[in-house]
Amino acid sequence: MSQPFDLSLFPGLPPEVVQAVSELQFELSVERAARQHEQSVVAEKDAFITELKKLIEKLEGQVQEYRRAKFGPKSEKLDPAQLELALEDLETAIAETQAQIAAVEEKIAASAADPERATPRKERKTRALPQSLPRVERVIEPDSIACPCGCGDMVRIGEDRTERLDFIPARYQVIVTVRPKYACPKGRAGVVQAKAPAHLLEGSWPTEALLAQIAVSKHSEHMPLNRQAVVMARLGVPIDRSVLADWMGRTGALIAPVVDHMATILKQGSTRLYVDETTAPVLDPGRGKTKTGYLWAVLRDDRGWGGSAPPGVVFHYRAGRKGEYAAEILDGFNGTIQVDAYGAYTHLATPKRTGGKPLRLAFCWAHGRRKLIKAKPKKGSPIVDEALLRIAALYKVEGAIRGSAPDHRRAVRQSLSRPLVDEFFTWLTAQAARVSRKSELGEAMAYMLRRQDGFRLFLGDGHVDIDSNLVENAIRSPAMNRRNALFAGHDEGGRNWARFASLIGTCKMNGVEPYAYLRDLFTKLANGHLAKDIDALMPWAYAQKVIASE
């Protein structure tokens, strides 16, 4: 019955018939309303499910894109800093989509015919916060603990605890040093007064702690001074950027002897160093634009073969990328340098080298691998795929012997890696004959074939690594600083960058917190420690002191 039955059309019906028809009409209307409600609920749920499917499909695409960016071959073509930014945005997008999916799932559960039977959403697992952080307990009591039965107050039987991470904004303060003067009341003696404490920058406002904070913010957290000035003004300290620059320039000059001494230690106490260079744009006022300077990184890290010397890196600013700069920086060093195949290093391996004996050049397999990947055509290349598999076999051997003694590393390489390398270059020679030398792939293969001696050098020396990735990792931080600050304002500014990058980079390699080290260093420099024991000012010496105090 689709329409209500009109009883007025049938006068004279018995009351019991009228009653029965009315009850039937009511039941039918209730049934119709229930059916309509059920249909609307189903339609709403179908809409939610359709939306959920779209979101899941979107999430799967984002996760695929994330994996491709992080683990796929395309990551070889991204600058490491650019890759970090890309991953950050992808992770943010994934989290947003997951939140949207959770909201839709909650709507589906709420629209269920029997909400009580709906499966409750699992609570998200939270990571434990570091125990070293201070904790402030906030106890929230009920409005009343009086028992409803009238027996008195309820007793405590347990508690629930949750932890959330809070932030207290930075607070600047002024330290007022008061030095009372004392004199004989009868005027029979001179005046007595405590000696003024030493300051790193005499006649200036900043404490050593503030100077350390500014340096770390710029050179480790990549916040240029103009942005720091904005933050300081927001927190109630309006100090002009030029003042901050003056502080950093004067401080950079004071740390120069420490960095120079560290450079000497790395060269004199090593037989193997990593060397690489990265651009450092510098403003050229005469032309109204920037010129290209370079930060040359010299790194020591003997942990790969179990060496006991502490790791360190020193950056040298130079106005160009010529071989004469490499010769000047490495003057007095004798041994092996792990480098890419840039031509500036070639003359260092000849008898004509000044400043020491001819150096041995160990070339980087990671560079050769990247050139092959870059040369791979869009349609693919069986040659490149095969080359990558052969190189991967070498890296598998290296992974097994990392940290072992030099003799053991050399023995394993002679047994396992040498046959692989021999086969690789025999195979690569045959493939190169089939490919045009002028093609990108032909040039990539020729790059490795012409430099076989340098690529083979790691096989006969357990102190040498298969690549120079360690120094490439070290230059990421200055590269990020360059990306944020765009350029240095002067050649001296480039040298300032290099000094702070050297100390902060070495801190990170030795597991030292850069701010704590710089604050300690500036305090010691203010108190004349440089003339007493410069070796104690090295970042690794500070690391040993921290370990001893724990």
- Please give the Cα distance from 369 to 77 (Å, whole number): 12
Judge contact between 531 and 335, C-beta under 8 A: no
> What does the mean pLDDT of the chain come to?
84
Amino acid found at 229: A
Confidence of residue 438 (pLDDT cuts 50, 70, 90): confident
Residue 402: what pLDDT? Answer: 94
Residue 164: what pLDDT? Answer: 84
Q: What is the mean pLDDT of residues 117-136?
A: 71
Residue 487: what pLDDT? Answer: 45
pLDDT over threshold 50, residue 331: yes
- Please give the Cα distance from 110 to 103 (Å, whole number): 11
Residue 483: what pLDDT? Answer: 54
Give the domain ranges of the chain: 7-113, 208-363+481-550, 365-467
Residue 200: what pLDDT? Answer: 92
The residue to which tokens 């989509």 are assigned: 97
Residue 207: what pLDDT? Answer: 94
pLDDT over threshold 90, residue 501: yes
Phi first, then psi: what are they for 485, rounded to 5°? -90, -10
pLDDT over threshold 80, residue 171: yes
Lowest model confidence (mean pLDDT) among 75-79, 187-191, 342-346: 75-79
Which helix (H) or strand (E) segment is 545 a member of?
helix 539-549
Confidence of residue 377 (pLDDT cuts 50, 70, 90): confident
The residue to which tokens 């396992």 are assigned: 416
Long-range contacts of 90-99 (CB under 8 A, 24+ apart): 90/62, 90/65, 90/66, 91/66, 93/62, 94/59, 94/62, 94/63, 94/66, 97/55, 97/58, 97/59, 97/62, 98/59
pLDDT over threshold 70, residue 459: yes
Closest to 69 (Cα-Cα) out of 59, 60, 80, 58: 80
Q: What is the mean pLDDT of residues 20-34?
A: 68
Confidence of residue 396 (pLDDT cuts 50, 70, 90): very high
- Please give the Cα distance from 449 to 437 (Å, whole number): 12
Confidence of residue 245 (pLDDT cuts 50, 70, 90): confident
Confidence of residue 490 (pLDDT cuts 50, 70, 90): low
- Please give the Cα distance from 18 to 7 (Å, whole number): 7
Residue 406: what pLDDT? Answer: 95
pLDDT over threshold 70, residue 401: yes
Judge contact between 107 and 68, C-beta under 8 A: no
For residue 313, what are its two tokens? Answer: 């890196």
Q: How do strand 181-183 and strand 360-363 relate by DSSP bridges?
A: unpaired
Residue 213: what pLDDT? Answer: 95
Lowest model confidence (mean pLDDT) among 9-23, 99-113, 368-382, 464-478: 9-23
- Please give the Cα distance from 412 to 240 (Å, whole number): 59
Closest to 208 (Cα-Cα) out of 544, 498, 516, 494: 516
